[in-house]
């Protein structure tokens, strides 16, 4: 899409100009620091060393942490460093762990000297002279103040004030600032409010510039942007600011990133607006065209959310689009309204645009300043910059400014620069060798020519389409989903989606969804409930008889129907559950995921060799109110997938959410007799629903006390429950404290803390307890959260489900001994449902707050002297649902992963928001009741029925087995007949196959790269009871599986053959001889502590009765099978581990070798 084809420069002319500049650049001295940095980055270890130094030695507040990192980095000191520096680093690495207070400050000064040419020192005594020196050659400076991550309004105000102070200086005439730097916690759902907020915050800055302009002092403000999501927001804020009275004659600028296909369309929009402004007598604007430097984080955003990559996928496409935008913009008529800043260091691009500008007659400055201005980064390729300046006139140097005492805030910027200098795809990687290395020069010329050739293929008037085009207002495509992949959440960066969201919130206030359905579901009498059970039992027989593939097809249709009703489901959640759209939308994605995932897992039940799955006839689902769509849907869909009929009783507080979800499943073809929705008129009916004889299984999500209540109704109730959590995040001195503060705040106060996975505690290790930085950032993030009602799109934290009372009210209003408020919560309404978030520090070990789940917007902070103590505090609670750690030390992460007691682990990220298959969800200890299989994981359906033996396992009887198993089989051979011995060996082979394929494998099904999501199994203690009259072969079969699992199991039996017992004791297994009655009596004492039992034969109901139905004891009592996939399960804990696997978007080796 060339605008004026005959003005396109010839590649030969471009190459000749580049060659001339290169020759000229050789006459200018290279800054020693820049040359040294370039040499370092050529070394194979150079990038890892330099980034590691910046992030691991410069960043930590704790000098001991920095010293350990320096010692580690000394092993990969780049060989291309000067000898004296290599020796100094080696020496420093040796002494740093011993004398960090001496060695680390010296090392930091050395590194600052190496990268200091890339940023300016903000110290008042140094900033002025530095500015004067840089401007001496005629260049202009674009100052950008770097600072701490903007987590709240305090830091946003600090950044804005700092930029204002810069602009007010006589020696500063140009500044850059991002909208995300002046307004914290931006949400694209509240786009209009965010624009208004940005305009309000930034207008005084522009008025300052306008006032200076009126006095004849040029002051220019450039509105920068980094993330794709900020594109529309930045443009809207920019145009709104300049449309205000008094600013019509102010010239100001904005950035467009050419690696976004949206860039040309955005340029055309700005051109149209600016032309209208000029026509009214207003000033022109300037658009700074950059290629874009946030690609790595855009890739993270796309991978995590399942959205298309917003940017072009190749460097060539980005280079082509860069020229496409400039080619369109650089015409005399367009430059009248929109001046252009050509930003970049690629000499071929600069030469191309310079020759293009000359050919089109726009190269010469006018009285109002240059129509086309050339911009480069401070300290990068200064010799080439000087050569270019001699032709194009003055340069504009993008100049980051940082206080030396806060040099760590420059890390993200420096890492990007270092990556650019090291990446072979980037022009900067060759910048010091182009003049002397013909091969590299040819490489860059060919890249330039390829991008130009691609531009020549554009059709007239071609405008690239955006990559992110999701539109929730569009009809759902026809056809039924097959297979499984995670559903993408709604993308609020898209204008159509934001409009869709606002309409939903508008409808939510007076929503009537679900009213009729829940009214019809009212059950008043025992007879009505009996009729529902009878119909469900009959429907279950037909449903279970269907092939799994047929059931799966219905579930896939259910997933598609839930997707089609996303808007309705969000509407009723906002209305009834108080959920913000940002919290509700991912929940719908989760419900859809459950449908498609369980559809596929249903097929697995038919493929287990050596065992047959017998589904429960009727499964009762009793979900919670806090996730009123996803958790009910998950339970219902799992039951259906397993072949069972389902009766669901939604939580009283969110009945209509459950009703609307069930309506979707009925519409998808799930028979109403097979899936019954009930609203019970009395407690007695509730008891009969969960404990009646027709109930085969109950799926509960709720408090541990509810599980106890259900078992008090029926001691042998087959209960599968996800219960309470008292979850903590550990923050060690090696952590990125800004990231940790942000994740702690989000994990604690998402959905007002009403998530079973929410962070209730933050455990600060060592020096973090005294860190003013961490405390300041956490308090800033928490106090800046917008609390309100869900129909307001600007609300970030909605109300609690009902007025605070009991233990939650105590936690929100009272302090225990030693505690104090960092952020004291405030009640905002008379009813007591709206509270600002609270943070208390000084929580003591063993205190009420330490051990109690509160389920609301209050966070406690504890201190630990080291990681060992922190782990002890984290593990001290009765629950083990989610747990987190923030640490950039691989040894700390390894220790934590090995010792923490929880089902879902999170490293350097928040601890909420588990996603189906990616992070299957479920806990340990009192956070789980029953089989302990994780929702959204590969084994969940296995626990929704019974297993019976079915033929011989498809496995070779002579397959290799581990020595312990082999020894047991040999010992048992004389005690069983030949048929049984063959079956045992086939079963052992089945165990081995299951171990290799599933249990012994550490899998990452999602394969995101930027985040490792690992599903693994951990051996768990089990008491194996071989009952009186149980066949010996069954007992040995279970013991074979137990040995293969690595579980620290014990055995109780009336008697065992001496050879079998000897084989067990040889491998450390405790064997106890006792009768059924004696064992049951002894075991009843275990009711108050967590245990697992594998019961072979015997009377499971009698055991449950003796245990008084204790939910603390999980009993596996199904018939013994030859299937390793079934028999090993009781001896293993499932664990999901999610690890952030990047730093600033770039891959990290933190967890390599750790897991």
What residues are annotated to the active site?
A: 722, 756
Q: How far apart are CA 911 and CA 519, in angstroms?
A: 37
Phi, psi of 674 (to 5 degrees): -75, -35
395 token code pair: 């340069």
Neighbours of 298 (CB within 10 A): 22
* CB neighbour list of residue 556: distance below 8 Å, 6 or more residues apart: 480, 481, 482, 595, 596, 599
Neighbours of 1012 (CB within 10 A): 21
1140 token code pair: 């952030």
Q: How far apart are CA 480 and CA 668, in angstroms?
A: 10
CB 743 within 8 A of CB 910: yes
- Tell me how many degrees the CA angle 762-764-768 measures, rounded to the nearest 5: 135
Neighbours of 705 (CB within 10 A): 11
Q: How far apart are CA 394 and CA 139, in angstroms?
A: 5
Q: In angstroms, what CA-CA distances link 830 with 518, 826, 827, 834, 912?
A: 30, 11, 8, 9, 30
Q: How far apart are CA 439 and CA 445, in angstroms?
A: 10
Q: How far apart are CA 224 and CA 1014, in angstroms?
A: 38
Name the helix (H) or strand (E) containing 1136: strand 1132-1140
Q: Give strand pairing partners of 924.
A: 880
* CB neighbour list of residue 1099: distance below 8 Å, 6 or more residues apart: 1027, 1076
DSSP SS3 for 1005: coil
Neighbours of 358 (CB within 10 A): 15
Q: Are strands 820-823 and 879-880 parallel, antiparallel or unpaired?
A: unpaired
**16-23: Cβ within 8 A, 24+ apart:** 17/351, 17/354, 17/355, 17/391, 18/347, 18/348, 18/351, 18/441, 18/445, 20/387, 21/347, 21/351, 21/384, 21/387, 21/388, 21/391, 22/347, 22/384, 22/387, 22/434, 22/435, 22/441, 23/435
* CB neighbour list of residue 373: distance below 8 Å, 6 or more residues apart: 286, 339, 340, 341, 342, 396
Q: Are strands 675-677 and 645-648 parallel, antiparallel or unpaired?
A: parallel
847 token code pair: 């205190």
Q: Are strands 522-523 and 679-680 parallel, antiparallel or unpaired?
A: parallel
CB 357 within 8 A of CB 23: no
589 token code pair: 């994605």
């Amino acid at each position: 899409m060339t605008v004026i084809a005959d003005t396109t420069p010839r590649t030969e002319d471009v190459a000749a100009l580049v060659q001339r500049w290169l020759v000229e650049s050789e006459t200018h001295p290279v800054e020693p620091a820049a040359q040294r940095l370039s040499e370092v980055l050529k070394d194979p270890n150079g990038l890892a060393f330099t980034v590691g130094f910046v992030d691991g030695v410069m960043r930590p507040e704790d000098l001991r942490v920095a010293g350990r990192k320096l010692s580690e980095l000394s092993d990969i000191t780049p060989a291309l460093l000067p000898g004296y520096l290599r020796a100094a680093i080696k020496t420093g690495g040796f002494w740093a762990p011993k004398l960090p207070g001496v060695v680390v400050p010296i090392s930091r000064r050395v590194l600052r000297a190496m990268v200091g040419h890339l940023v300016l020192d903000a110290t008042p005594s140094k900033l002025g002279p530095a500015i004067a020196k840089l401007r001496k050659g005629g260049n202009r400076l674009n100052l950008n103040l770097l600072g701490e991550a903007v987590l709240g309004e305090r830091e946003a105000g600090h950044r804005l004030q700092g930029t204002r102070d810069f602009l007010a200086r006589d020696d500063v005439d140009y500044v850059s600032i991002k909208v995300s730097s002046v307004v914290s916690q931006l949400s694209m759902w509240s786009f209009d409010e965010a624009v208004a907020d940005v305009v309000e915050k930034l207008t005084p800055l522009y008025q300052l510039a306008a006032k200076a302009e009126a006095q004849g002092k040029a002051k220019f403000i450039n509105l920068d942007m980094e993330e794709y999501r900020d594109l529309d927001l930045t443009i809207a804020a920019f145009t709104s600011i300049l449309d205000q009275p008094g600013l019509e004659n102010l010239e100001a600028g904005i950035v467009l990133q050419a690696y976004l296909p949206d860039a040309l369309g955005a340029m055309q929009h700005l051109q149209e607006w600016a032309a209208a402004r000029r026509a009214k007598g207003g000033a022109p604007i300037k658009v700074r065209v950059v290629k874009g430097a946030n690609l790595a984080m855009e890739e993270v955003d796309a991978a995590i959310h399942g959205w298309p990559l917003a940017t072009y996928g190749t460097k060539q496409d980005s280079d082509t689009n860069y020229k496409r935008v400039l080619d369109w913009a650089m015409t005399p008529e367009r430059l009248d309204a929109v001046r252009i800043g050509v930003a970049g260091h690629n000499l071929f691009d600069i030469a191309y645009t310079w020759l293009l500008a000359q050919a089109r007659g726009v190269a010469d400055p006018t009285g109002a300043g240059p129509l086309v201005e050339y911009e480069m980064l401070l300290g990068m390729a200064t010799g080439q910059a000087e050569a270019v300046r001699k032709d194009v006139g003055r340069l504009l140097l993008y100049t980051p400014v940082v206080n030396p005492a806060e040099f760590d805030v420059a890390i993200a910027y420096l890492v990007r620069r270092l990556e650019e200098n090291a990446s072979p795809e980037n022009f900067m990687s060759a910048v010091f060798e182009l003049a002397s290395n013909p091969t590299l020069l040819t490489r860059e010329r060919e890249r330039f020519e390829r991008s130009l050739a691609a531009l020549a293929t554009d059709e007239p008037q071609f405008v690239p389409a955006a990559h992110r085009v999701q539109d929730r207002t569009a009809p759902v495509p026809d056809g039924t989903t097959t297979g499984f992949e995670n559903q993408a959440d709604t993308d609020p960066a898209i204008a159509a989606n934001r409009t869709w969201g606002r309409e939903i919130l508008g409808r939510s206030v007076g929503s009537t969804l679900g009213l009729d359905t829940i009214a019809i579901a009212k059950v008043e009498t025992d007879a009505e409930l009996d009729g529902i059970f009878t119909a469900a039992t009959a429907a279950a027989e037909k449903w279970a008889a269907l092939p799994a593939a047929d059931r799966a097809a219905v579930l896939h249709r259910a997933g598609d129907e839930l997707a089609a009703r996303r808007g309705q489901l969000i509407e009723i959640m906002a209305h009834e559950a108080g959920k913000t759209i940002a919290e509700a939308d991912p929940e719908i994605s989760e419900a859809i995921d459950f449908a498609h995932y369980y559809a596929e897992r249903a097929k697995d039940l038919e493929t287990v060799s050596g065992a047959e799955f017998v589904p429960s006839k009727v499964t009762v689902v009793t979900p919670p109110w806090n996730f009123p769509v996803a958790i009910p849907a998950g339970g219902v869909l799992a039951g259906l997938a397993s072949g069972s009929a389902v009766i669901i009783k939604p939580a009283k507080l969110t009945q209509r959410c459950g009703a609307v979800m069930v309506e979707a499943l009925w519409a998808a073809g799930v028979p109403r007799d097979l899936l019954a929705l009930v609203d019970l008129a009395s407690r007695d009916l509730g008891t009969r629903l969960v404990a009646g004889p027709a109930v085969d299984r109950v799926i509960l999500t709720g408090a541990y006390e509810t599980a106890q209540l259900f078992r008090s109704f029926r001691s042998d109730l087959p209960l599968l429950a996800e219960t309470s959590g008292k979850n903590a995040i550990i923050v060690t001195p090696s952590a990125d404290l800004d990231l940790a503060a942000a994740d702690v705040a989000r994990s604690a106060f998402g959905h007002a803390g009403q998530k079973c996975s929410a962070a209730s505690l933050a455990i600060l290790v060592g020096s973090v307890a005294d860190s003013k930085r961490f405390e300041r950032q956490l308090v800033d993030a928490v106090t800046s959260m917008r609390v309100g009602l869900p129909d307001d799109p600007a609300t970030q934290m909605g109300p609690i489900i009902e007025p605070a009372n009991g233990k939650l009210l105590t936690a929100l209003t009272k302090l225990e001994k030693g505690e104090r408020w960092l952020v004291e919560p405030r009640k905002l309404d008379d009813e007591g449902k709206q509270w600002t978030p609270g943070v208390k520090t000084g929580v003591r070990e063993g205190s009420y707050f330490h051990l109690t789940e509160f389920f609301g917007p209050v966070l406690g902070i504890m201190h630990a002297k080291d990681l060992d103590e922190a782990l002890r505090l984290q593990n001290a609670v009765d629950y083990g649902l989610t747990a987190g750690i923030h640490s950039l030390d691989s040894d700390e992460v390894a220790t934590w992963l090995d010792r923490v007691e929880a089902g879902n682990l999170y490293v350097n990220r928040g601890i909420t928001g588990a996603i189906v298959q990616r992070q299957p969800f479920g806990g340990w200890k009192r956070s789980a009741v029953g089989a302990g299989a994780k929702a959204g994981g590969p084994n969940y359906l296995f626990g929704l029925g019974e297993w019976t033996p079915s033929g011989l396992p498809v496995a070779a009887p002579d397959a290799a087995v581990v020595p312990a198993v082999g020894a047991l089989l040999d010992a048992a051979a004389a005690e069983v007949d030949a048929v049984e011995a063959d079956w045992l060996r086939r079963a052992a082979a089945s165990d081995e196959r299951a171990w290799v394929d599933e249990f012994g494998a550490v899998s990452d099904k999602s394969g995101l790269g930027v985040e490792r999501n690992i599903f693994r199994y951990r051996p768990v203690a089990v008491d194996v009871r071989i009952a009186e009259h149980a066949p010996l072969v069954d007992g040995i079969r279970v013991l074979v599986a137990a040995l293969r699992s690595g579980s620290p199991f014990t055995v109780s039996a009336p008697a065992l053959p001496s050879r079998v017992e000897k084989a067990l004791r040889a491998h450390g297994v405790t064997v106890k001889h006792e009768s059924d009655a004696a064992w049951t009596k002894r075991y009843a004492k275990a009711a108050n502590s967590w245990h697992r039992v594998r019961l072979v034969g015997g009377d499971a109901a009698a055991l449950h009765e003796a245990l008084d139905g204790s939910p603390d004891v999980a009993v596996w009592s199904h018939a013994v099978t030859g299937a390793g996939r079934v028999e090993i399960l009781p001896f293993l804990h499932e664990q999901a581990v999610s690890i952030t696997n990047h730093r600033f978007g770039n891959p990290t080796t933190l967890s390599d070798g750790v897991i």
